[in-house]
């Protein structure tokens, strides 16, 4: 004879309340290290201080507690070689990239730059592992989507998200993944890396007239006209998100670029800070609703006022905390 229905019901109720208690007590973990900074010279268009400023602002306001910040180790060479060529990695590490390659990268080579690139990749690998355990994880860096297997470009040295996906797949933790790339520039490196790989869905929503001049082919590319505003952007995003989930990803990487902002020097779109926060909330809420783990990474942001870029990146973490119910009070419980 089987258990009678009321007993089953009781077991199920107990199980559900345990699960609820578990999830409501989840405290989002984020990757960060002060060594995400490297000296690239005063006045460089890339705001390399933003990583530290985002961390500081989130700690100061109490969105994050120090216990939630996990320092990454640099990605292992064997992990990086799952995506990048041995020739590129060797020359990158030894400082023997050609002047043309360095010009294309747009950042001056230094040991600290190489170190920060490996650390940022390690941070994204960690964020992905946090997400698999807790449903949400984040890296306060990363999203360097213009890096190709054999070269860097557009301020992107290593393709951290591609490395993280390959590591998770190699370790048997996931088979299928998806990338939601909302940086204003097309994720051309990422699209190329996964072009012939149907296990990874690449979705890029970007400015049609923006860099890169020659676009690669993502699984799904959505090109936006100059001066696209909040309402239109959110409408287009909502319209295309279901295609990402139809791929049945076990893990999503979200690039919450700050550069679709109207005040961005390299943006060309016209979104407000409020609209970008709504974008983050829309993507993250959909991941939660569909039960797909999500790791957030930063990608670009070049506002005339760096404080705006920092605010937009902070909003991604604030949205993640509120959507996944990782509240300040649960963070305080860690103390
Ligand atoms: Zn960008």
SS (H, E, C) the chain: CCCCHHHHHHHHHHHHHHHHHHHHCCCCEEECCHHHCCCCCCCCCCCCCHHHHHHHHHHHHCCCCHHHEECCCCCCHHHHCCCCCHHHHHHHHHCCCCHHHHHHHCCCCCHHHHHHHHHHHHHHHHHHHHHHHHCEEEECCCCCCCCECCECECCECCCHHHHHHHHHHHCCCCCCEEEEECCCCCCHHHHHHCCCCCCEEEEEEEECCCCCCCCCCCCEEEEECCCCCHHHHHHHHHHHHHHHHHCCCCEEEEECCCCCECCECCCCCCECHHHHHHHHHHHHHHHHHHCCEEEEECCCCCECCHHHHHHHHHHHHHHHHHHCCCCHHHHHCCC
pLDDT score recorded for residue 149: 98
30-332: what fold? 3.40.800
Q: How confident is the model at residue 259 (pLDDT cuts 50, 70, 90)?
A: very high
- Tell me what the pLDDT averaged over the chain comes to: 92
Closest residue by Cα to residue 334 from 326, 301, 223? 326
pLDDT score recorded for residue 4: 43
Ligand 1 centre to CA of 267 (Å) is 8
Ligand 1 centre to CA of 227 (Å) is 16
User: What distance in Å separates the CA atoms of residue 331 and residue 326, rounded to the nearest whole number?
Assistant: 7
User: What distance in Å separates the CA atoms of residue 265 and residue 303, rounded to the nearest whole number?
Assistant: 6
How much is the average pLDDT of 11-15? 46
- pLDDT tops 60 at residue 307: yes
Q: How confident is the model at residue 25 (pLDDT cuts 50, 70, 90)?
A: low
Ligand 1 centre to CA of 328 (Å) is 31
Ligand 1 centre to CA of 270 (Å) is 14
Ligand 1 centre to CA of 22 (Å) is 36
Ligand 1 centre to CA of 300 (Å) is 4
- pLDDT tops 80 at residue 16: no
Ligand 1 centre to CA of 210 (Å) is 9
| β-strands 293-297, 251-255 pairing | parallel
How much is the average pLDDT of 270-280? 98
**CB-CB contact of 297 with 138 (8 Å):** yes
Main-chain phi, psi angles of 177, to 5 degrees: -140, 165
| pLDDT tens digits along 62-119 | 999 999 999 999 999 999 999 999 999 999 999 999 999 999 999 999 999 999 999 9
pLDDT score recorded for residue 302: 97
Ligand 1 centre to CA of 192 (Å) is 17
pLDDT score recorded for residue 333: 38
Ligand 1 centre to CA of 87 (Å) is 26
- pLDDT tops 90 at residue 217: yes
Q: Which two tokens stand for residue 238?
A: 């909502």
Q: Which two tokens stand for residue 173?
A: 């933790």
**What's the length of the chain?**
335
Ligand 1 centre to CA of 146 (Å) is 9
Count Cβ neighbours within 10 Å for each residue of 57-94 and write b for 16 or more, e otherwise.
Answer: bbeeeebbbeebbbebebbeeebbbbbbeeebbebbbe
Ligand 1 centre to CA of 301 (Å) is 6
Ligand 1 centre to CA of 262 (Å) is 13
pLDDT greater at residue 78 or residue 43: 78
Ligand 1 centre to CA of 206 (Å) is 9
Closest residue by Cα to residue 157 from 301, 242, 6, 36? 36
Per-residue CA distances from 223 to 193, 196, 207, 213 (Å): 20, 21, 6, 13
Ligand 1 centre to CA of 10 (Å) is 51
How much is the average pLDDT of 156-170? 98
Per-residue CA distances from 334 to 65, 328, 329 (Å): 9, 10, 9
pLDDT score recorded for residue 325: 78
Query: What is the pTM assigned to this prediction?
Result: 0.90
Ligand 1 centre to CA of 310 (Å) is 14
Ligand 1 centre to CA of 9 (Å) is 51
Ligand 1 centre to CA of 183 (Å) is 5
How much is the average pLDDT of 233-258? 98
pLDDT score recorded for residue 162: 99
Cα(first)–Cα(last) distance of the chain, in Å?
49
- pLDDT tops 80 at residue 312: yes
- pLDDT tops 60 at residue 235: yes
The percentage of residues in the chain with a pLDDT greater than 70, rounded to a whole number, is 89
Ligand 1 centre to CA of 164 (Å) is 20
- pLDDT tops 50 at residue 20: no
**CB-CB contact of 222 with 206 (8 Å):** yes
Ion ligand 1: residues, CB < 5 A: 183, 185, 259, 300
Among all chains, which residue has been given the structure tokens 């049609």? 208
> At CA 72, angle to CA 184 and CA 261, rounded to 5?
15
Ligand 1 centre to CA of 26 (Å) is 31
Q: How confident is the model at residue 201 (pLDDT cuts 50, 70, 90)?
A: very high
């Amino acid at each position: 004879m089987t258990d009678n229905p009321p007993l089953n019901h009781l077991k199920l109720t107990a199980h559900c309340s345990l699960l609820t208690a578990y999830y409501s007590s989840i405290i989002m973990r984020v990757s960060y290290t002060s060594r995400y900074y490297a000296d690239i010279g005063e006045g460089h268009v890339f705001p390399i201080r933003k990583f530290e400023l985002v961390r500081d602002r989130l700690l100061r306001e109490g969105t994050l507690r120090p216990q939630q910040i996990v320092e990454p180790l640099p990605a292992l060479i064997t992990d990086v070689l799952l995506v990048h060529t041995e020739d590129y990695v060797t020359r990158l590490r030894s400082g023997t990239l050609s002047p043309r390659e360095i010009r294309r990268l747009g950042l001056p080579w230094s040991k600290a730059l190489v170190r920060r690139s490996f650390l940022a990749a390690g941070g994204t690998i960690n964020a992905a592992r946090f997400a698999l355990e807790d449903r949400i994880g984040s890296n306060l860096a990363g999203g360097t989507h213009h890096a190709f297997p054999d070269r860097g470009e557009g301020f992107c040295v290593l393709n951290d998200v591609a490395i993280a996906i390959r590591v998770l797949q190699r370790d048997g933790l996931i088979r299928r993944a998806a990338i939601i790339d909302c940086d204003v520039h097309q994720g051309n490196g990422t699209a190329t890396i996964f072009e012939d790989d149907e296990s990874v869905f690449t979705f890029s929503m970007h400015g049609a007239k923006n860099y890169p001049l020659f676009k690669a082919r993502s699984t799904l590319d959505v090109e936006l006209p100059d001066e696209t505003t909040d309402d239109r952007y959110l409408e287009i995003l909502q319209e295309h998100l279901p295609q990402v989930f139809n791929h049945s990803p076990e893990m999503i990487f979200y690039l919450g670029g700050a550069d679709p902002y109207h005040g961005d020097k390299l943006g060309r779109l016209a979104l407000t800070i409020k609209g970008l926060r709504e974008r983050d909330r829309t993507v993250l809420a959909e991941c939660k609703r569909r039960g797909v783990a999500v790791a957030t990474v930063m990608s670009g942001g070049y506002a005339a006022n760096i404080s705006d870029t920092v605010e937009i990146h902070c909003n991604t973490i604030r949205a993640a905390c509120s959507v996944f119910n990782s509240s300040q009070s649960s963070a305080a419980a860690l103390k």
